[in-house]
A = this chain, B = another copy of it.
Amino acid sequence: MIRLYHVPLSPFCRKVRLTLAEKRIEVELVEERYWEQSPEFLRRNPAGKVPVLKVESRLMSESQAICEWLEEAYPAPALMPRDVDARYEVRRLCNWFDDKFHDEVTSKLLYERVNRKMQGTGYPDSRNVKFGATRIKYHLDYMAWLLEQRRWLAGDSMTLADFAAAAHLSCLDYISDVDWDRHAAVKDWYAKIKSRPSFRPLLADYVPGFPPPRHYVNLDF
């Protein structure tokens, strides 16, 4: 049995959940209040982060390394292209979202508005929120530019890059921080991802104290 230690509104956990679900791998989800850094959790993962995937007695951390492992250990359906240059583009974009988008947007909006309250570390810093709200526009423009040239973010097939991006955007959509009307191409892309069976469990997530807006679960948003 495979177990995933996660929190519902973590883009890194969501990327792994989507990858598991697309590959139809059964998984037991266990919520982990990682910020409390319980000794038991730190034993499982010295980096003190989620997601942590437990496969038999093996504990795995780092979402991108986990997803690459899932892709190699469970090759079907493929979430990476075969062509070497196309694979580079998938990895570049996963990193774009998990590093740059995370630093400029997710950490400035989601972590300020939700994580601070949940973890009891104070009120949102309005400068950060303002910065994130400005930067997300630039990122949505970049996605629209990519999607003008391609059916999916990294090329003409759906890949890990789409799940990395959708994982971040879905967390931000939970707190109504995505302007879907900015670009029809981005909205259409998200509608395609959102309607996949793998996405359903994410739409059922509910974080106490933070009820999602009605459009969050609607496939027609």
Contacts and interface: CB of A to CB of B under 8 A. Distances in A.
Contact of A84 (B73, B91, B142): B73
Interface in A148-177: none
Interface string A45-87: 0110000000000101110111011001100000000001101
Given A68-B88, A84-B72, A87-B72, A96 B62 contact: yes
**Interface residue range, chain A:** 20 to 34
Contacts of A87: 68-69, 72
A172 B68 CA distance: 30
A74 to B, nearest CB: 10
Contacts of A47: 96, 100
Q: Which of A58, A72, A84, A88 has the most CB of B within 10 A?
A: A88
A95 B60 CA distance: 12
A47 B47 CA distance: 26
A69 B86 CA distance: 10
A78 to B, nearest CB: 15
B92 A61 contact: yes
A75 B158 CA distance: 26
B84 A69 contact: yes
Contacts of A96: 47, 62
Contacts of A94: 65
Nearest to A58: B85
A5 B66 CA distance: 30
Contacts of A69: 84-85, 87-88, 91
A100 B45 CA distance: 13
7 contacts: A65-B91, A68-B87, A69-B84, A69-B87, A69-B88, A72-B87, A73-B84
Given A62-B92, A65-B92, 13 more contacts: A46-B142, A47-B96, A61-B92, A62-B91, A62-B96, A64-B91, A65-B94, A65-B95, A66-B88, A68-B88, A69-B84, A69-B88, A72-B84
